[in-house]
Amino acid sequence: MTELHSKIRALPLWQNKIEITPLSGGLTNLNFVITDGDKKYVLRNGSDIPEHNLMRFGDLAASRAAHLAGLSPKVHYAENGMTVIDFIESKTLSEADVQDRNTLARIIPLMQRCHRDIPQHFRGPALIFWVFHAIRDYEKNLTERGTGYAGLLPEYMEINAALEAAAKPFDIAFCHNDWLAANILDDGKRLWLIDWDYGGFNSPLFDLGGLASNNSFDEATETFLLETYFKTPVNAGLLRRYHAMKTASLLREVMWSMLSELTSTLDIDYAPYTLEQIARFERAFDTFKQS
């Protein structure tokens, strides 16, 4: 950590002697609050993670486009795995916050603006986040690395194929693809969307399903989410496609965590998170089968 702090202090954008404060909560990056005189920034340190299909050029391009679209803080620096953005004095949302109808009614337009506006500002090569491909790739990585979850993988691949077939036809938009409550900030006047590690073109249903699954929505809240987003009553066909994408988002999270148990260099015990996500996935799959 001392070496990393020295590299941070040597960055060319600082105007004063800086203070470096660790920022907890990240599952992929090391994060810090940097105080430079009367200004504050967030520094995220992380390299490409090919086994998770995470490429930093895509993260950076999405972050810059999201800022121009009015969704995210400004990027001030990005080199050698370090990205520096404005620090937003704000409250980080919790699952309970996202479940609240008044807050959710503010989040849905944020998602709609992400899907609609970011492509108008995006520059350079753009990634696609295809959850069904990610799941197949995770299966190969886990098998090659000798996972202890190998017994689950054949069934998961069958489920993945069934979900991909059920989710058709697909609309495509630019999606955030990681709607954790911790990625939404409230400064008291507006909401901000941060952490574009997995940003890329995808089905809007993936973002909707991810928001619901990551924040433990009940059925009534899911109906409110879908009818507010689409501005129409939800029919059986859309509901089945939605549940397919929601279930796939959870299956991908399960396998992300399984692989992180084997590969992550961060000081995090991923095993409890894996078990939590398996339970969420199984509940979602049961609901999908009934849809």
Domains of the chain from N-terminus onward = 2-86 (3.30.200.20), 91-290 (3.90.1200.10)
Name the band, by pLDDT with cuts 50, 70 and 90, for residue 26: low
Q: Are 42 and 185 in contact (CB under 8 A)?
A: no
For 206-228, what is the mean pLDDT?
A: 96
The Cα–Cα gap between 246 and 228 comes to 17
Q: What's residue 147's pLDDT?
A: 96
User: For 58-72, 141-155, 259-273, which range has the lowest pLDDT when averaged over its residues?
Assistant: 259-273
Mean pLDDT estimate for the chain: 94
- The string of pLDDT tens digits covering residues 61-72 is 999 999 999 999
Choose among 93, 117, 120, 126: nearest CA to 199. Answer: 126
User: For 13-27, 72-86, 103-117, which range has the lowest pLDDT when averaged over its residues?
Assistant: 13-27
Is the model more confident about 112 or about 25? 112
Strands (DSSP E) found in 99-210: 173-175, 184-186, 191-193, 200-202
